[in-house]
Chain A
Amino acid sequence: MRIFVPRDAAALALGADKLTAAIAAEAARQGVEATIIRNGSRGMFWLEPLVEIETPEGRVGFGPMTLADVPGLFADLPAHPKALGLVEAIPFLARQQRLTFARCGVIDPLSLNDYRAHGGLAGLERARGMTAEAICAEVTKSGLRGRGGAGFPTGVKWETVRKAEAAQKYIVCNADEGDSGTFADRLIMEADPFLLIEGIAIAGRAVGASRGYVYCRSEYPNAIKIFNEALRIATTAGMLEGFALELRVGAGAYVCGEETSLLESLEGKRGMVRAKPPIPALHGLFGQPTVVNNLISLATIPYILAEGAEAYAAFGMGRSRGTMPVQLAGNIKHGGLFEVAFGITLGELVNDIGGGTTTGRPVRAVQAGGPLGAYFAPSQFDTPYDYEAFAACKGLIGHGGLVVFDDTANMAKMARFAMEFCAHESCGKCTPCRIGAVRGAEVLDRMVAGHARPGDLDLVKDLCETMKFGSLCALGGFTPYPVMSAIEHFPEDFGGAPLPLAAE
Chain B
Amino acid sequence: MAEIWNLQRAQEIIARHKAQEGPMLPILHELQDRFGSIGEEAIRLVAQSLNITRAEVYGVVSFYHDFRQAPAGRHVLKICRAEACQSMGGEDYAAALLHSLGLEWGQTTKDGRLTIEPVYCLGLCACAPNAMLDGQPRARLDATTLQALAGEAV
Contacts and interface: CB of A to CB of B under 8 A. Distances in A.
B88 A180 contact: no
B126 A268 contact: no
A9 B130 CA distance: 11
B48 interface: no
Interface in B1-30: 20-26, 28-29
Interface in B49-94: 56, 59-60, 63-67, 82-88
Contacts of A269: 24, 56, 59-60
A270 B63 CA distance: 6
Interface in B110-150: 119-128, 130, 132, 135-140
A10 interface: yes
A417 B24 CA distance: 32
A185 B44 CA distance: 36
A180 B66 contact: no
B64 A179 contact: no
Given A248-B26, A329-B128, 4 more contacts: A12-B136, A46-B126, A251-B29, A335-B126
B87 A13 contact: no
Contact of A182 (B65, B125, B138): B125
Interface of A: 9-10, 12-14, 45-46, 48, 177-183, 185-186, 211, 218-223, 246, 248-254, 265-271, 286, 327-332, 335-336, 358, 367, 371, 401, 403-406, 409, 414, 417, 421, 424-425, 427
B122 to A, nearest CB: 5
Interface residues of B, number: 42
Contacts of A371: 82-83, 120
Nearest to A185: B123
Contacts of B136: 12-13
A21 to B, nearest CB: 15
**Interface secondary structure of A, over-half rule:** mixed
Given A252-B66, A417-B86, A268 B127 contact: no
Given A251-B25, A265-B25, A371-B83, A13 B138 contact: yes
22 contacts: A9-B124, A9-B137, A13-B130, A13-B139, A46-B126, A48-B127, A178-B121, A181-B82, A183-B124, A183-B125, A183-B126, A223-B123, A248-B25, A253-B63, A266-B25, A268-B23, A268-B25, A270-B59, A330-B88, A335-B127, A336-B126, A403-B125
Contacts of B140: 13-14
A220 B67 contact: no
A403 B123 contact: no
Given A178-B120, A271-B63, A403 B83 contact: yes
B83 A330 contact: yes
A177 B85 CA distance: 16
B59 to A, nearest CB: 5
Contact of A253 (B28, B65, B137): B65
B64 A45 contact: no
Contacts of A265: 25
A221 B119 CA distance: 14
B42 to A, nearest CB: 15
Given A10-B124, A10-B139, A13-B138, A267 B22 contact: yes
Contacts of B65: 251-253
A444 B20 CA distance: 46
A406 B127 contact: no
A372 to B, nearest CB: 11
Nearest to B118: A424
Contacts of A249: 25-26, 29
A473 to B, nearest CB: 15
A14 B145 CA distance: 12
Contacts of B85: 180
B137 A13 contact: yes
B67 to A, nearest CB: 6
B126 A179 contact: no
A10 B84 CA distance: 14
Nearest to B62: A270
A190 to B, nearest CB: 10
A289 B56 CA distance: 26
Contacts of B20: 246
